[in-house]
Amino acid sequence: MKYGSKFRQCVVAMSVAGLSLLAASSALAQAYPSKPIKFVVPFGAGTATDNVGRILAQAMGDALGQTITVENKAGANGIPGADLVKTAAGDPYTILVTTSTTQAANVSLYKKLPYDPVKDFTPIGKIGETGFILMVKPEFPAKDMKEFLAHAKTNKLSYGHGSSGSLVSGALVAQLGGFDALSVPYKSIPPALTDLMGGQLQYAFADVGNAVTQMNGGRLKGLGVTTVKRAGKAPNVPPIGDTIKGYEVSAWFALMAPANIPADAAKKLADTLQAVLAKPEVKEKLNNAGIDMDVQNPAQLAKTIDAEIKKWAGWVKLAGIETQ
């Protein structure tokens, strides 16, 4: 009887311990996030994607009660950064601040990608869009797109690009504008603008936020924007499509988590993103960064990515860009 009593006590203790473990496990599952989150930006510091990531890291970190750090993983049109997040499958603490480059255009620009832009990620939400502005030095011998095209047809020009948006913008304006230009790749757009100001390039396409900063400082001038309508941050820059029929390029930004993250974590991230994007102060910061708001939930973003992959395939083909 004495042995049986101790046995029963042991069983009861084990049962209590098991219930405690289950309760602790349940509490942890409900407590997301319980540690800092990392935003991976697949482009360099000072880029539009970096600006978006840092604005959201602060706002969402405050809302979630956790620190969100930003890690820049630049180069190769965002491929290393996207691949880094892909390899973190199931981890809701590693999030990609993605763009149309990494989730759509790269499908057509490269014969083989180390990631699948759909299967390897969990959509969290779309944030907004931006266009690109054709930038030249203040002394460039053209004051508008018509004069730019005339000059480009009689002079050999080179342009820099640091994303698929700036690459396609540059190649498409040459293709539809009827001139040849040398394409020079960079890890991101800011270094291309530095070389443009230094005279190593004749033109470059910069996202609206970076372009306006350079224009306001008098370091560069903008001749045309790639979107159908004028950008809210640059109302004085006319669409290139006004001069070149059929010309249009636009980029977008979104948050994507790795595939197979817990459903509750995905929902918490999506709900928090929607909440902070509705705040006036966050909208203002994004607008000041040259981002036009276009908020979408995870289901809407998933449909957008499918459509954008097809759209960018058309732009890449029209621009005459060979798949690498």
Kindly report the length of the chain.
324
pLDDT one digit per residue (tens) for the chain, 324 residues: 444 555 445 444 444 444 444 443 444 455 899 999 999 999 999 999 999 999 999 999 999 999 999 999 998 899 999 999 999 999 999 999 999 999 999 999 999 999 999 999 999 999 999 999 999 999 999 999 999 999 999 999 999 998 889 999 999 999 999 999 999 999 889 999 999 999 999 999 999 999 999 999 999 999 999 999 998 889 999 999 999 999 999 999 999 999 999 999 999 999 999 999 999 999 999 999 999 999 999 999 999 999 999 999 999 999 999 888
Token output for 275:
């909440």
Instruction: Provide the pLDDT for residue 14.
Output: 47
Instruction: Provide the pLDDT for residue 6.
Output: 52
Domain boundaries, the chain: 36-130+251-319, 132-242
- What burial class does residue 104 get, using C-beta atoms within 10 Å of its C-beta: 0-12 exposed, 13-18 middle, 19+ buried? buried
Q: How many CB atoms lie within 10 A of CB 127?
A: 27
Which residues are paired to 225 by β-bridges? 133, 239
Instruction: Provide the pLDDT for residue 323.
Output: 87
User: For the domain bounded by 132-242, which CATH number is listed?
Assistant: 3.40.190.10
Q: Does domain 36-130+251-319 have CATH number 3.40.50.1580?
A: no
Q: Residue 245: CB partners within 8 Å, gap ≥ 6?
A: 176
> What's the DSSP call for residue 117?
T
Q: What is the C-alpha to C-alpha distance for residues 231 and 208, in angstroms, rounded to an integer?
A: 7
Look up tokens 């009660």; give the residue.
Answer: 65
Per DSSP, the three-state class of 298 is helix
Token output for 272:
């928090």
- Fold match between domain 36-130+251-319 and domain 132-242: yes
Instruction: Provide the pLDDT for residue 11.
Output: 44
Instruction: Provide the pLDDT for residue 187.
Output: 86
Burial 270-287 (b: 16+ CB within 10 A, else e): bebbeebbeeeebbebbe
Instruction: Provide the pLDDT for residue 30.
Output: 56
- Give pTM, 2 decimals: 0.85
Instruction: Provide the pLDDT for residue 324.
Output: 85
